[in-house]
Structure 1
Amino acid sequence: MGLFGKGGEETSKQSGTTIVAEGTRFFGELTLDGTLHIDGTIEGTIECHGDVSVGRTGYFEGTLKANRLMVSGHVQGRVECESLEIVSTGRVYGEIASERFVIEPGGQFIGESLTRDKQAVAALSYKQQGDEAGSVDADRDEAATGSGPSLVSSDDGTAHAKARNG
């Protein structure tokens, strides 16, 4: 089945897997319905209604929104997903908002982790707007109540995170 019918009309509506191969570099905005596997480099914005996997040689920097994210390579930036898994070779640096967050022994996360609920997503959006005064006041209030950021590490001591539960 071809992608285009008569007159350039699209005939295939199936969502498949998009692969960014090792050695490929992509800069910009990527929106897709299917799954995405990254073995190359992407810098920019990804909005994926399916799952994203970053292979051992994969590198992503920017803002990523997906259903599920599995990281074997390197991710840096802002991530929003239902489920995030960092395997033993994976490295994630930045800010994440996720309902489910797993770090295998050897995997690394350095950054801020927010629970993914309406309040936390609103806080993430608020923070992205650059209101430093509001962020500092919120951190001060959380420190006073004892509900603020805390340091988290995996069993082997390689994963560190400030965790804030909304």
Structure 2
Amino acid sequence: MFSKKPEQQTPRVSQASNFMSSKNSTFSVIGSDVTIKGDVSASTELHVDGAIEGDITCASLVQGEASNINGAIKAESARMAGTLTGSITARELVILKSAKIHGDVQYDALTIEQGAQVEGRFALQGSQNTGSTKGKSAAGSDEEPKLIVAN
């Protein structure tokens, strides 16, 4: 009456192998206790709370207040809150009041909170930084650079 019928056994896949095979992760985190010496590349969003000595290339970067990056950054979007010694190139860049940037900044859209510290040159991406408005692009675009100062 209470006997079990033999069930068809399906192979069990460990959680570790499921995790390892998941290539569609939405973000990667570098924890506050981690220091990386070397270049870092990510195809998605990267959260940095630790220290990196090297260049970073990623789709989106979020830097924590206590983090320290020593190298160049290239990202579609970046939200900077910690210390950066090096250049940054981002289409959309947000510099929070806790940020300390020592290097050149290239951007398409820029937001800077009051109190942020930046020592370097600002340049619109694609501009030759000539100091004049005579050199328009081949398409003749009159698009104004976007700068937003947040309170």
- Normalising by structure 2, we get a TM-score of 0.70
Give, in angstroms, the shift of residue 60 of structure 1.
0.6
Shift >6 Å, 4+ stretches:
none
**Which whole-Å CA distance do the structure 1 matches of 2:133 and 2:48 have between them?**
39
1:70 aligns with 2:79: yes
Give, in angstroms, the shift of residue 16 of structure 1.
2.4
Tell me what 2:52 maps to: 42
**Which whole-Å CA distance do the structure 1 matches of 2:133 and 2:98 have between them?**
33
Bigger Rg, structure 1 or 2: 2
Would the aligned equivalents of 1:76 and 1:92 in 2 still touch at CA under 8 Å? yes
Aligned letter for 1:55?
G
Give, in angstroms, the shift of residue 108 of structure 1.
1.2
Tell me what 1:161 maps to: none
Tell me what 1:23 maps to: 33
Q: Which has the higher helix share?
A: 1
Give, in angstroms, the shift of residue 35 of structure 1.
0.7
For 1:112-131, list aligned pairs within 5 A: 112-117=121-126, 119-120=127-128
User: Kindly tell me: are residues 16 and 79 of structure 1, through their superposed partners in 2, closer, same or farther at Cα, counting changes over 3 Å?
Assistant: same
Q: Deviations over 1:43-82 (max 9, x none)?
A: 101110x210111111111011011111111111011110
How many residues are treated as equivalent by the alignment?
Answer: 123
Tell me what 1:33 maps to: 43
Tell me what 1:80 maps to: 89
Gaps of 5+ in 1: 124-137, 148-153, 157-166
Would the aligned equivalents of 1:3 and 1:12 in 2 still touch at CA under 8 Å? no
Give, in angstroms, the shift of residue 18 of structure 1.
1.1
Aligned letter for 2:54?
G
Q: Deviations over 1:70-104 (max 9, x none)?
A: 11111110111101111111111101111011110
Gaps of 5+ in 2: 1-13, 135-148
**Which whole-Å CA distance do the structure 1 matches of 2:104 and 2:40 have between them?**
20
Would the aligned equivalents of 2:70 and 2:85 in 1 still touch at CA under 8 Å? yes
User: Kindly tell me: are residues 17 and 155 of structure 1, through their superposed partners in 2, closer, same or farther at Cα, counting changes over 3 Å?
Assistant: closer
Give, in angstroms, the shift of residue 15 of structure 1.
3.1
Give, in angstroms, the shift of residue 4 of structure 1.
4.9
Tell me what 1:11 maps to: 21
